[in-house]
Chains A and B, each alone.
Chain A
Amino acid sequence: MTSAIVSVTGMSKSFPGVRSLDRVDLEVARGEVRALVGENGAGKSTLIKIIAGAYRPDDGELAFDGRSTRWSSPHEAARAGVHVIYQELILFPDMTVAQNIFVNDQPRNRFCLIDKADMRRRATAILEELGSPIDPDEKVRNLTVASQQLVEIARALKSNAKLIIFDEPTAVLGGHEVDILFAMIARLKARGVAVIFISHRLEEVFAIADSATVLKDGKLVGTLPVKELTQSKLVSMMIGRPLADMFPPKATSEPQGAPVLAANDIWSGPKVKGISLALHKGEIVGLAGMVGSGRTEIAHALFGSAPLERGSVTQGGTAATSPDPCQSIARGIGFLTENRKEEGLFMLQDIAVNISAPILGRIGSALFLNRTAERMLARQQIAQYAIAATGPNAAVVNLSGGNQQKVLLGRWVNTSNTALILDEPTRGVDVGAKMEIYRIIRELANRGLGILVISSELPEIIGLCDRVIVIAEGRKTGELTGRDLTEERVMELAVATGGAGLPNGVAA
């Protein structure tokens, strides 16, 4: 291709003990949208960091815009026209939109002072070009995640980006926001900007990309036009073996007995409005809805980490009007929060400490902990859940996302014999690890736990859950099982407005 904006040949990069990238080739044309897929650890991040100047390659050629180059810093790459929009956005929440767009090259007047009027005008022009009504004087902290992404895109466009790399941009977005992002990417493409798009959601690859490059274990598996690909072919390229079945078989029998976890017309904060639901022994129930629809808040209310204003929850047969996390844990309820780094794991501690944290009382005597027992327990769970780590003493921060998630699952399984609430259990986790997590979740359900799964990924909700409750604007808009459980039905209910929707408790 003569119109290649970026071309990588024989790129290699090693880190102590790991060959992260092994003679990889990649070429992306102007106006092309390229999906970059592969399991975690496949080398995607290393590759984009080399293209963006954050890493220096050990070996290999990088040509950008027709010239062979080797960046000395990310800033140099950015000036040449390479921009990366990381999943964790580089934004300054207390600065305005305009200040964020021009954070590194504010327009200045002849006194060398920042020309705020000009800055605002140019920011507005770029935002308009992106079709966005964001106020350039608004503080970024007050924007939604989707709008924040847009600010980053605007920043890239401002400096004449020729290649924009999106690192899992949709992991933090709700369904409708993804559509907006994709429309934005289409605009970029139309302007001749090349896009490299990393995602774990394969349906997105088919929705937006022209072609896909698959990496595995640091090596290039291949690059194919999306037209010639199917989802199962892509997955088998990624995991290096045919895709048997992403999801374990669903429960065959109807749930019986009293619910192990239930909400009885609960109200909590602005996002939980009269929710009733019941979770039985052995079943996996999905909680679906747009990001911001109140799914996470319902989970917090059920667990007791957010106060109930009205209503009550039933935990393992005991009703409570003001549940609290300690009680919930004591009643065998576990809660895996959506952001494992902030609200779940002790990142710098080792696996054993993380697993034993909620059950310290059970390990050792009243006064002293039995560290040997703690390590034993950790070793056992590392084996049981196939956690890829050197051992119980491995620091959690060094594990991949999927393995971190398994550590958290391991932790809660020890304390929970009643019910587990899993908020986005596979966020940022690669396909292989996802399948393992699905298997573990089903196994736990088969052992008699009731499991409530919150997920933004519709295929996951539909493939994994026995029953799905759909939430829109803090209200329950429906419940789906069996043959009714389709993406279309879930979406319909997810966009139904709470006020005009179905009354609570109506099963579809």
Chain B
Amino acid sequence: MTPTQSTPASTAVTRWFRRIPLSLIVVVALLLLLTVTGTVLSDRFATSRNFLNVFQQAASLGVVSLGQTLVVLTGGIDLSVGAMISLTSNLTSGLIDGNPDRVLPVVIGVVALGAAIGCMNGLLTHYLRIHPLIVTLGMASILQGVTLLYSLAPLGKVPQEFQVLAYGRFLGVSIGGLAMIGLFVLAAIFLHFTRTGNAIYAVGGDPRGAHLMGISVARTLAIAYGLSGALAAITGIYLVSRMGTGDPWRGEGFELASITPVVVGGTILAGGRGGVLGTLLGVYLISLLNNLLNFLDVSTFYQWIIQGLIIITAVAINVERGRRA
């Protein structure tokens, strides 16, 4: 009975390699497959110009999926991100209304609002012992209602300079895209090198055990959902920058779209396993896929079908791995 079998041949390198989750290998393989297919099928696909475009376009999906990842790691789900994006986008442009002096306070205020609403999701889930699916679905409905009470139509506008976030380039690379990568790096550091980050994995793995270990489940959930809310608000703001104005329906569909990269990237819905690198790769996979299908002039409905197939396939492969382990 040796606890871990370590044959003399198993070097540090092979051990390191063995620890790469299969899900990451699958996503990378899919990305490569997609790139090769795209190169063969379309001569406009494999160009640096197109890749830089996709890099820019992926920013909104990336930021909201990043927040979703944190929540899914706790074993929860955040279905309020779509309505949150709608609310924050229309609120941002409505409050700024073209006045450059208001940009900073409004942006800070809107992100804080997103964080506060997110915290509330986490705390309600914990203290009322309601499944997060229900809490965030209810919250989505409330937020959408508030959004529509605020305005039935796109409201206000933002100064030209504000669009730097979406269209600005630094050395030819999208600033929004770079900012998204920056957020992913911060999130990775947060998850792996802070106690709260580790607590997210612990709560997702076994909430009762985490409680018995002295980890505050309420605090951990409040932070995870709060970050998800804040990141959804940032997505809303980013979309205002991209479109020039808000929209009371801007976030429609994001609640489910944000889950796709998470599960494709190997974070399991039961919580406790996965990470942001998988989500990042998942975001690029989905963005590249949609980009290619656009080039091929394929109907949006086919995009849905293919996206669905990818989700089910990727997750099925991860489950298989779980059974063997």
Contacts and interface: CB of A to CB of B under 8 A. Distances in A.
Interface string B291-305: 000000000000000
Interface stretch (A37-45, A105-113, A379-387): A105-113
Given A104-B214, A112-B194, A133 B4 contact: yes
A146 B195 CA distance: 27
Given A75-B214, A90-B206, A114 B3 contact: no
Interface stretch (A134-142, A409-417, A429-437): A134-142
Contacts of A133: 2-4, 6
B108 to A, nearest CB: 24
A260 to B, nearest CB: 33
Contacts of B133: none
Interface string A202-246: 000000000000000000000000000000000000000000000
A141 B209 contact: no
Given A94-B273, A95-B201, A135-B4, A73 B195 contact: no
A144 B3 contact: yes
Given A74-B212, A95-B198, A113-B193, 13 more contacts: A74-B214, A78-B214, A92-B272, A95-B205, A103-B202, A105-B195, A114-B193, A134-B3, A135-B4, A135-B6, A176-B1, A177-B1, A180-B1
A90 B1 contact: no
16 contacts: A73-B214, A75-B213, A79-B214, A92-B202, A92-B205, A92-B209, A94-B205, A94-B272, A95-B202, A99-B198, A112-B194, A132-B3, A134-B4, A144-B3, A146-B3, A177-B1
A397 interface: no
Classify chain B's interface size. 20 to 34
Interface string B200-238: 011001100110111100000000000000000000000
A143 B1 contact: no
Nearest to A132: B3
Interface in A63-120: 73-75, 78-79, 90-95, 99, 103-106, 108, 112-114, 116
A150 interface: yes
Contacts of A135: 4, 6
B192 A114 contact: yes
B149 interface: no
A134 to B, nearest CB: 5
Contact of A113 (B19, B189, B210, B273): B189
Contacts of A138: 3-4
Most buried by A among B209, B212, B273: B212
Nearest to A180: B1
A400 interface: no
A147 interface: yes
A108 to B, nearest CB: 7
A103 B4 contact: no
A486 B213 CA distance: 44
| Interface majority SS (helix, strand, loop, mixed), chain A | loop
B189 A150 contact: no
A112 B214 CA distance: 19
B220 to A, nearest CB: 12
Interface in B247-295: 272-273
A104 B215 contact: yes
A103 B1 contact: no
B9 interface: no
Contacts of B2: 133
B201 A90 contact: no
Contacts of A75: 212-214
Interface residues of A, number: 39
Given A92-B209, A114-B193, A143 B4 contact: yes
A135 B16 CA distance: 12
A357 to B, nearest CB: 26
Contact of B209 (A90, A144, A146): A90
Nearest to B325: A141
A456 to B, nearest CB: 14
Contacts of B201: 92, 94-95, 99
Interface in B168-214: 189, 192-195, 198, 201-202, 205-206, 209-210, 212-214
Contacts of B214: 73-75, 78-79, 104
A104 B213 contact: yes
Given A112-B194, A113-B189, A150 B3 contact: yes
Contacts of B1: 144, 146, 176-177, 180
A87 B214 CA distance: 19
A138 B5 CA distance: 11
A112 B15 CA distance: 29
A108 B209 contact: no
Contact of B195 (A54, A78, A114, A176): A114
A139 B212 CA distance: 21
A-B complex: 7 closest residue pairs judged by Cβ atoms: A75-B214, A147-B3, A92-B205, A90-B209, A94-B273, A113-B193, A104-B213
A137 to B, nearest CB: 8
Interface in A321-361: none
A114 B188 CA distance: 13
Contacts of B210: 92, 103
Nearest to A106: B195
Given A92-B201, A92-B205, A103 B213 contact: yes
Contacts of A139: 19
A473 to B, nearest CB: 12
Interface in B102-143: none
Interface string A170-195: 00000011001000000000000000
Contacts of B4: 133-135, 138, 142-143, 147
Nearest to B270: A94
B194 A114 contact: yes
Most buried by A among B2, B6, B206, B272: B206
A27 B212 CA distance: 25
A180 B3 CA distance: 12
A54 to B, nearest CB: 8
Given A106-B195, A113-B194, A142 B205 contact: no
